[in-house]
A and B are shown apart, each in its own frame.
Chain A
């Protein structure tokens, strides 16, 4: 089927209707969550009891608003810390690894490349438990040998960062390597011939060229980290990131404050995502 090929009206109508239905399916849960963030009721469900902003701004129980809910705000702060560190680490290692695979030939390169892709096909829960087991082995070993307790190797934010980094770095590597592959190396050579040092070439030519990919994969890394659940679930300690806090709330049964958090996240990640799309669009021209 193509736009240029005549089709029966009924078939064309059915196809369009299907696509419309599909987008209703995609939007429905998000729209519902967003609308009920403004419902003046103690439960996130019908009936509609009127419009309120309490779930954002009310400072007292029982209608404690999102900005006054200390557990949620703490979760938010934890997620933010984790996402920032995971993103920076992933970009750094993603860039060096992209250079490694695009610019160097070495023995076992094929094998290393497959190894690099593996974190994407290992379930997140398994990545989590393997890092949990290994870090405990080290921490226990150190404790028996020296008596020092390495608390950062026990479940907590540090392990969450490592766990998320272990697979987000692969995504960063793939995005950055794809851009690096299209780079015309004669530009670098010209600069070197004109007397620029390799470091100057890297900073004034190659890295600026990679900028759209760095920003794009940085945004993706940040969003994936912020919304990660599986790996985080196995590695988090007493200070839980937001997704874990929300999960616990959801099982307890919650007030519409969860809707307010969700709407807040939707707006935040939507803005970041849009920014990413705009940056990606410059790719061709930069």
Chain B
């Protein structure tokens, strides 16, 4: 009796999951792949082939944009780690009680607000008529207005800012579970602060480092807002290419090929990173 009930319940639970996966993830991506393999010969006449991919690889601007986007996303990931790690360590191991809880909450607060608001804040600070430029003029450091927005450094600043939470949270939770006595032992055995970090804390926190890095990398690579609003005209982000093929030029075939190229690139990089660090996707993301 209870067993047959269990079968029935199983199918009832499986159905929404399958609908979600098939209708919104699996089939749409297959459809996207099919569309990317469709070449337009003359209007309304198509044939199957790799023409759209050939167009991508044949046009140095497209390839260059992708390479630039990947390199800048990797750099943003490393910078987010470098900036965030000391803070995560401080929250996990140095701060105590109330301070600790409130510091952790303070880290979360900016991310309850939309990314567009955060970018807007940076634009107000960095642009020619912005606060930093005005301050520099007031302080007499520069003589005229300075434009700090619309360059790669501004994009980097925005990406690091926008991804910070996703690095800090996994780092705090892994460093927190490291027993203090291991750190003390490191010092007792003659290690200095640097060697203890390198030989004990960072290896121990590796699952957190990887989880944070993968999320930050993916978020940076797929970001559209920050590079579009804070970046210069010459420094296009790859997602902007996808957007313009789909929305502005209405060339969905080429846009789909771009989408797949981005998806393949990000999958390969995430897979490589997981491989090299000996972690698994369900291990890093599914820890709940």
Contacts and interface: CB of A to CB of B under 8 A. Distances in A.
Question: Does A associate with B in a complex?
Answer: yes
Interface of A: 1-5, 7, 11, 15, 18-19, 22-23, 25-30, 32-33, 36, 43-46, 92-93, 96-97, 99-100, 103-104, 106, 110, 112-127, 129-134, 137, 162-163, 165-166, 169, 174-175, 177-178, 181, 198, 223, 226-227, 229-230, 233-234, 243, 246-247, 250-251, 258-259, 262, 265-266, 269-270, 272-273, 277
Contact of A115 (B12, B13, B21): B21
B180 to A, nearest CB: 6
Contacts of A169: 20
Contacts of B109: 26, 270, 273
Interface in B4-50: 5-6, 9-10, 12-14, 16-17, 20-21, 23-29, 31-32, 35
B32 A250 contact: no
For the complex of A and B, the 9 pairs showing the least CB-CB separation, nearest first, are A29-B121, A123-B222, A178-B288, A227-B114, A130-B28, A134-B28, A273-B112, A100-B13, A166-B24
A31 B288 CA distance: 32
B108 interface: yes
Given A43-B129, A166-B20, A262-B117, 19 more contacts: A3-B93, A3-B94, A32-B131, A33-B117, A45-B130, A93-B16, A93-B20, A96-B12, A100-B14, A121-B267, A121-B270, A123-B221, A124-B222, A125-B224, A125-B242, A129-B259, A130-B28, A166-B24, A262-B113
A181 B184 contact: no
Nearest to A44: B124
A111 to B, nearest CB: 11
B131 A122 contact: no
Quick one: which of B106, B117, B164 has the most chain A CB within 10 A?
B117
Interface in B114-129: 114-125, 127, 129
30 contacts: A1-B94, A3-B94, A4-B180, A18-B86, A19-B86, A29-B120, A30-B110, A30-B117, A43-B129, A45-B131, A46-B134, A92-B16, A103-B13, A104-B6, A112-B17, A114-B282, A116-B21, A121-B218, A123-B222, A124-B222, A125-B262, A130-B31, A133-B32, A134-B23, A175-B288, A177-B288, A229-B116, A230-B224, A251-B229, A273-B108
A32 B281 contact: no
Nearest to A267: B113
A16 B31 CA distance: 53
B75 interface: no
B184 A4 contact: yes
A2 B94 contact: yes
B256 A96 contact: no
Nearest to B13: A100
Contacts of B119: 250
Contacts of A229: 114-116, 224-225
A126 B263 contact: yes
B161 A25 contact: yes
B54 interface: no
Interface of B is mostly: helix
Given A3-B94, A19-B90, A46-B129, A30 B239 contact: no
Given A5-B187, A19-B87, A250-B123, A125 B285 contact: no
A7 B194 CA distance: 13
Contact of A243 (B10, B105, B116): B116
A46 B90 contact: no
Interface of B: 5-6, 9-10, 12-14, 16-17, 20-21, 23-29, 31-32, 35, 83, 86-87, 89-90, 93-94, 96, 103, 105-110, 112-125, 127, 129-131, 134, 161, 164, 180, 183-184, 187, 193, 196, 214-215, 218, 221-225, 229, 239, 242-243, 246-247, 252, 255-256, 259, 262-263, 266-267, 270, 281-282, 285-286, 288
A199 B154 CA distance: 56
Contacts of B266: 121, 123
Contacts of A1: 89, 93-94, 183, 193, 196
A14 B271 CA distance: 38
Given A133-B35, A270-B109, A22 B28 contact: no
Contacts of A243: 114, 116
Contacts of A18: 86-87
Given A162-B24, A243-B116, A265-B117, A2 B110 contact: no
A265 B93 contact: no
Quick one: which of A18, A122, A272 has the most chain B CB within 10 A?
A122
A3 B225 contact: no
Nearest to B123: A250
Contact of A114 (B26, B86, B252, B281): B281
A123 B239 contact: yes
Contacts of B118: 29-30
